[in-house]
Every structure is written in structure tokens, then in C-alpha cells.
Amino acid sequence: MDACRPILNTGLRGFTVATTRISDVDGAIGKLVYRGYLAKDLADTATFEEVIYLLLYERLPVKKELEELKALLAREADVPESILKSLALSPSDALPMDVLQAAVMMLAQYDPDAKEHSKEAATRMGIRLIAKLPTIVAAWDRIRNGRKPVSPSPDLSLAANFLYMLTGRKPDDEVTGFFDTALILHAEHSFNASTFSARQVASTKAHIYAAVSAAVGSLSGALHGGANTRVMLMLQEIGSVEKVEDYVKRVLESGGVIMGLGHAVYQTDDPRAHILAPMSRKMGERIGDTKWYDLSKHLEKIGKAAFENKKGREIYVNVDFYSASLYYYMGIPVDLFTPVFAIARVVGWSAHVIEEQFAGAAPKPILYRPEAEYIGDYCGPEECSFTPIDQR
Ligand SMILES: CC(C)(COP(=O)(O)OP(=O)(O)OC[C@H]1O[C@@H](n2cnc3c(N)ncnc32)[C@H](O)[C@@H]1OP(=O)(O)O)[C@@H](O)C(=O)NCCC(=O)NCCS
């Protein structure tokens, strides 16, 4: 091992491992850009379908292209009957992210493009994944509750369709708009853990389903996408504004973490949280119950202050902090929050797999193969001499 090289368990923080044209996160000032556009502007004015087009095809669509994409997504939203039947064989208490990860690999088995290694095939598969993941997540929720899945409706946007397939009722424009915005905000975030998982798998030239399946597994973790479900569980555990201070004190004293606070990149509030928070408040007002929003707001204030008091530095809200109460108000089951994250982030994953495998411009990505420092201190400086089993 080269003595000059730093050997630390850094989680690759601060290491730039590739170039990308897809998005940029400026953690110092809280800026997120998708292919040159501020995510905030896209969230304010674009639709999720426009963002899908932008991320996959590298530019905003004109009207005709957008209509074609919507029609394609509608055509591809159906999931093979045999996959739905397989879902019905899973135990009803299976973790939804496990079900989703398995379903992604089932989709691969039905896709002839999985045998072709080309940008066109990868793009077609990416579109299919984007179209079918909402159907799978909604179908799983109905199946585990003993209900028949609702078929996708071709006249609805992806956001409205998901809520329709989940509940059986078409959402109104305001709820659809909020959910559409949440999907835009979760669609892409540079080299986060799950995207890096997808890119690492893609760098071996495995197909997009293998890469997305790895990404789903990565997203499920509590420190990543799994945090949104845990934020809601935390809010439910706290229960009321009066109990926030005790909860924060207890968690920080025991060395635990307050879910939804902190981020590996942002050194200021996550800009997505500033868009999600007012949507959560408005959704609460709509249904006449702002309890979870109010609780979140108070927890943000107390949690930040207590953290600063203890550590002598600031901590900030991340994307999961307010998406939790927003999704809860929309009637999405708490353990589906992370799969909902996945139905948005699959857009970014797909764009990254395509870039990893088919980037035209140099420098081209190459197979990821880092090194590790072997701590082989089992038998001193020499290798151990093997002892046959009956002499140990
Ligand atoms: C996301 C996360 C892993 C980022 O971590 P990070 O910025 O690299 O910070 P580290 O994990 O290195 O933690 C630095 C210190 O701050 C503490 N810390 C970080 N986030 C914290 C939180 N939410 N609550 C309490 N303490 C926290 C850590 O325990 C650590 O303390 P230590 O120095 O005594 O060991 C971390 O903030 C976290 O666990 N947050 C909660 C889970 C979450 O919301 N995840 C979603 C991320 S989008």
C-alpha cells in the first residue's frame, strides 16, 4: 500500500469519483440543479413528466415530445399479470422495499431489451421502470390488504395515477399538484448512496434492472430513503408538541439520531425541505388537522437548537423531514413512503445508468474498483499457517 495515500473510513465523503452532466448539489448554499435548471424552478413550474424527459433526454421537451412521452408512460404502466400473481404470494407483512426490489428483477425477466446492450434499449427499459414502479407499489398495498389491484388509468398523469391506483379514487388537482411536485423534488440528487449503487452496478455493464434493483436496496436503508418512514414513526412516537423537548433530549443523550435532520452534503437547509414544508402545512389545513406539520415545525426548532448546544455546530432539515407529514396527509401508508421515494428516484437512477454506460463525451466512465487497506493482523506480520480441522 502506498504510504502517502490516506486510508480512512470516509464513506467517500469529499472524493469526486466521476463526472456527470445530470445534476449538481451545492451543499454550501443549498442549491440543487437538474441539467442546468434549478430544481426549485422545476418544482414551481414543470410537471414530473417534463422532468422525466429532461433527465433522460438531456433537454426539456417540446409539446409534441411531451405528449408522446405521456402516451408511452401510459402504455407501459401495466405490469404483467404473472408478476401481480407473484406479489400475491409474498407474506402480507413483507417490507414493501423488499417486494419492490424483487419485482424489479421480475420485470427484467419479461423484458426482451434486457438482453441488449445499447443506449436505446437502456432508455426503453428506463421508461418501463418509471411507468411500472408506481403500478407495482400501489398494487402491492392493495394485495397485502386483500384487495384487487386497480389498473392504471391512461388519462392520468403519473402522480395522479399512483394515488388513484393506491386508493381507487382519482385525486383532485391540488393534491395531484403537491404529489407531482414531491416527485420532481425526489427525482434526482447526484451521487447519493442509491445512485452510486446503481452506477457501480452499471459500470460492470449489467443491465438497468440489476442496477435499479441494487439502488432500491440501497435506498431502503434508514440513513437514506428509509428515513422518511422513520420520520413519521418518530412524529407518531412523540405524539404532541409538548413532548418534543423530552424526546430530543432523550435521543441526543443516548447518542441516537433525530430522523430527517442532517445530510452528508448540505451544510444548510435542504432546499427541497423549504418547498415540502408549506405543502405539508397546506395539506394539513385542507383536511383540518395541522398536528403533524406543527409537530414537525416545533421539532425542527428544538432539534436544531439542542444539536447545536451539544455539538457546537449547526444541523439542518433534509428532504425527508417534511415529506413524511405531507405523504401522511395524502393518505399514503407510512411504510410506503420509501417506495414512493423510489418511484421518483428511478428517473435519476435511469439517467445515471445511461450516462454510466453510454456517455458520449470523454472522460468515459470505467469500472468502479476501489481498494481497501487489509488489516491482516491475525498471525503477526506473516501469513497464518493452515491447521487441518482435526488438529485445531
Ligand atoms: C444523514 C446522515 C447519515 C449524515 O451524516 P453526516 O452529516 O455525515 O454526519 P455523521 O453521520 O458523520 O455525523 C456527525 C455527527 O453528527 C451526529 N448527527 C448527524 N445527524 C444527526 C441527527 N439527525 N441527529 C442527531 N445527531 C446527528 C452524528 O451522530 C455524529 O455524531 P458524532 O460525531 O458524535 O459521532 C445523518 O445526518 C443522519 O443519520 N441523519 C438522520 C437520518 C436521515 O434523516 N437520513 C436522511 C438523509 S437525506
CATH number at 255 reads 1.10.230.10
230 CA distance to ligand 1 middle (Å): 14
Identify whether 379 is part of a domain: no
Mean pLDDT estimate for the chain: 95
State whether 266 and 181 are in the same domain.
Answer: no
Q: Are residues 28 and 152 in the same domain?
A: yes
Indicate which residue's Cα is closest to atom 15 of ligand 1.
311
The answer to whether residues 315 and 294 belong to one domain is: yes
Judgement on whether residues 258 and 210 belong to the same structural domain of the protein: no
Q: pLDDT tens digits for 156-191?
A: 999 999 999 999 999 999 999 999 999 999 999 999
Distinct helix (H) and strand (E) counts, the chain: 16, 4
Residue where a domain terminates, one of 289, 306, 328: 328
Distance of alpha carbon 149 from alpha carbon 383, whole angstroms: 59
**Catalytic residue (one of 263, 270, 298, 352):** 263
pTM: predicted TM-score of the whole model, two decimal places: 0.95
C-alpha to C-alpha distance for 358 and 199, rounded to whole angstroms:
12
Q: Is 387 domain-assigned?
A: no
Q: How far is the CA of 259 from the centre of ligand 1 (A)?
A: 9
Give the integer Cα–Cα distance in Å for 178 and 186: 13
Average pLDDT of the segment spanning 288-314: 97
Tell me, yes or no, whether 197 and 294 share the same domain.
Answer: no
The reply to whether 320 belongs to the active site is yes
**Structural domain span for residue 295:** 234-328
Inter-residue long-range contacts of 147-154, CB under 8 Å, 24+ positions, other chains counted: 149/84, 151/78, 152/74, 152/77, 152/78, 154/74, 154/75, 154/77
* Phi/psi at 38 (5° precision): -65, 130
For the segment 316-329, the average pLDDT, to the nearest whole number, is 97
Residue 130 reports pLDDT greater than 70: yes
Pocket test for ligand 1, best of 10, 194, 223, 268 (most atoms within 8 A of CB): 223
> Do 122 and 36 have their domain in common?
yes
3-state secondary structure of 350: helix
Residue 31 within a domain: yes
CATH label of the domain that carries residue 85:
1.10.580.10
Same domain for 152 and 45: yes
- The candidate with the shortest Cα–Cα distance to 30, out of 259, 247, 268, is 268
150 and 290, same domain (yes or no): no
**Structural domains in the chain (count):** 2
Clarify whether residues 138 and 286 are in a common domain. no
Query: pLDDT tens for residues 234-253?
Result: 999 999 999 999 999 999 99
Is 386 domain-assigned? no
> Is 240 part of any domain?
yes
Per-residue confidence (pLDDT) for residue 112, from 0 to 100: 95
Distance 324 CA to ligand 1 centre (A): 18
Boundary (domain end) residue, out of 328, 350, 377: 328
| Pocket flag, ligand 1, residue 319 (CB < 6 Å) | yes
Q: Does 191 lie in the same domain as 106?
A: yes
The answer to whether residue 10 is domain-embedded is: no
If asked whether residues 28 and 137 sit together in one domain, one would say: yes
> Using a 6 Å cutoff on CB, does residue 262 contact ligand 1?
yes
Rounded mean pLDDT of 61-75? 98
In this structure, the answer to whether residues 253 and 198 fall within a common structural domain is no
Residue range 84-102: mean pLDDT, rounded: 97
